[in-house]
């Protein structure tokens, strides 16, 4: 992933009401959202939110209903004007643009996909997909060519001439995604795009999104209230609490293993951690020897309390595993099970739980970089709560 920042939000505060200054006084005094509303009638939706999104990243914004996550996304594209703070996209201060400049900027830079598809039911799928290009003034034959290309990308090429009203909900959401992609935006904004769909269709569209992202490497801001969805699609997750503040921004693994506070920790109870945590996260430093002689093994046994050793070649690639009994009896070593560092614990379970020794972890070049112990996996599987910092 490119570390170049594409989106920066600086100290975003959003207050709904006709007297935001009254709410700011309450904010300065540290009052809660509900108290400020009761005293002033002003609703504090967001409070001093700052973050940045890297090029090619899927950045997930999540929180419970009423937390302000969708409001935050709408402040990014200025469907809502922040009460305070700035938004910079591709080096442009979006909060300083005029209405005309903003309209042009959105058309050329941002693709938007929302929970409610907002399609034209009596237009064809192709006409829906090419609507943004038509607004841009692209010639008909060019926009139709682009539209059919994008429809093929999302698996709807054969439905180009159908009315969108004839399609299922999942297919309509694909049309919405295709319409956003047709203008070839640098950045996609997706506000709970799959939440209205049944679980099977939702899972399929999550797969489709990840596939498209691997092909196109778009920068995506994705809003959801579902942590399982967030950890599945997100490179990083920003969790907005009920006061409209950011509780934590981190990778899915970091959030699962080290929740920042009680609010974040409460999200974790229903998440399948082994399906998220990778072997690289829980591996230990391996014990190895580069020589194939039993004398070298005996030498190591005298120096350590280890009862096994991974044997490597001169390229640090694992060639075998020697147990204490084998070394003492000068028997042949076993061939090791090795698994890639990015494999999830869930996928690695058959090897981890059946082998009598720790499983070796290798990098992209096949070099041994760690080992996973059964007891660490059992702890991950059985722990009911995780201590937060």
CA distance linking residue 156 with residue 117, whole number of Å:
16
Residue boundaries of the structural domains of the chain:
5-272, 280-382
pLDDT tens track for 252-301: 888 888 889 888 888 777 777 888 888 998 899 887 776 555 556 566 66
| Protein fold of 5-272 | Rossmann fold (3.40.50)
Residue that the structure tokens 């090791």 belong to: 336
Q: What is the pLDDT of residue 301?
A: 62
CA 92, CA 255: separation in Å to the nearest integer?
31
**What is the average pLDDT across 359-365?**
91
User: Are the C-beta atoms of 46 and 23 separated by less than 8 Å?
Assistant: no
The CATH code of domain 280-382 reads: 3.10.580.10
Nearest to residue 290, comparing CAs of 262, 329, 317? 317
Q: Are 49 and 240 in contact (CB under 8 A)?
A: yes
The model's pLDDT over 185-211, given as tens digits with 9 standing for 90+, comes to 889 998 888 877 777 777 888 888 888
Average pLDDT value for residue range 8-24:
94
pLDDT per residue as tens digits for the range 69-104: 999 999 999 999 999 999 999 999 999 999 999 999
- Cα torsion through 221, 227, 229, 230, rounded to 10: 30
Phi-psi region of 113 (alpha: psi -120 to 50; beta: other; left: phi over 0): beta
Q: Pick the closest to residue 357 from 318, 308, 303 (CA basis).
A: 308
Token pair in block for residue 303 = 């120096």
């Amino acid at each position: 992933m490119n570390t170049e920042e594409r989106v920066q939000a600086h100290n975003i505060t959003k207050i709904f009401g006709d007297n935001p200054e009254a709410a700011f006084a309450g904010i300065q005094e540290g009052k809660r959202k509900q108290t400020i509303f009761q005293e002033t009638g002003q609703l504090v939706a967001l409070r001093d939110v700052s973050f940045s999104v890297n090029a090619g990243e899927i950045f997930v914004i999540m929180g419970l209903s009423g937390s302000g996550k969708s409001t935050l996304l709408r402040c990014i594209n200025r469907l809502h004007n922040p009460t305070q703070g700035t938004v910079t996209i591709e080096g442009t201060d979006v909060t300083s643009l005029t209405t005309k400049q903003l309209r042009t900027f959105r058309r050329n830079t941002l693709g938007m996909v929302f929970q409610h598809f907002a399609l034209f039911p009596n237009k064809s799928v192709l006409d829906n997909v090419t609507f943004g290009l038509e607004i841009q003034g692209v010639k008909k034959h060019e926009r139709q060519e682009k539209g059919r290309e994008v429809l093929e990308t999302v698996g709807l090429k054969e439905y180009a001439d159908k009315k969108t009203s004839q399609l299922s909900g999942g297919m309509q959401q694909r049309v919405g995604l295709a319409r956003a992609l047709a203008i070839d935006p640098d950045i996609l904004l997706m506000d709970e795009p799959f939440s209205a769909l049944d679980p099977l269709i939702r899972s399929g569209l999550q797969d489709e999104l990840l596939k498209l992202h691997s092909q196109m490497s778009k920068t995506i801001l994705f809003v959801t209230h579902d942590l399982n969805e967030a950890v599945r699609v997100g490179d990083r997750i920003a969790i907005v609490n009920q006061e409209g503040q950011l509780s934590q921004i981190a990778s899915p693994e970091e959030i699962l293993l080290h929740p920042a506070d009680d609010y974040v920790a409460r999200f974790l109870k229903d998440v399948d951690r082994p399906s998220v945590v990778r072997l690289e996260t829980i591996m230990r430093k391996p014990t190895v020897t580069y020589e194939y002689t039993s004398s070298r093994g005996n030498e190591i046994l005298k120096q350590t309390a280890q009862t096994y050793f991974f044997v490597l070649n001169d390229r640090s690639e694992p060639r075998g595993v020697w147990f204490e009994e084998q070394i003492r009896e000068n028997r042949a070593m076993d061939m090791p099970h090795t698994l890639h560092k990015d494999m999830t614990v869930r996928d690695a379970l058959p090897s981890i739980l059946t082998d009598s020794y720790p499983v070796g972890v290798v990098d992209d070049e096949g070099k041994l970089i760690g080992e996973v112990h059964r007891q660490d996996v059992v702890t991950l599987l059985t722990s009911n709560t995780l201590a937060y910092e």
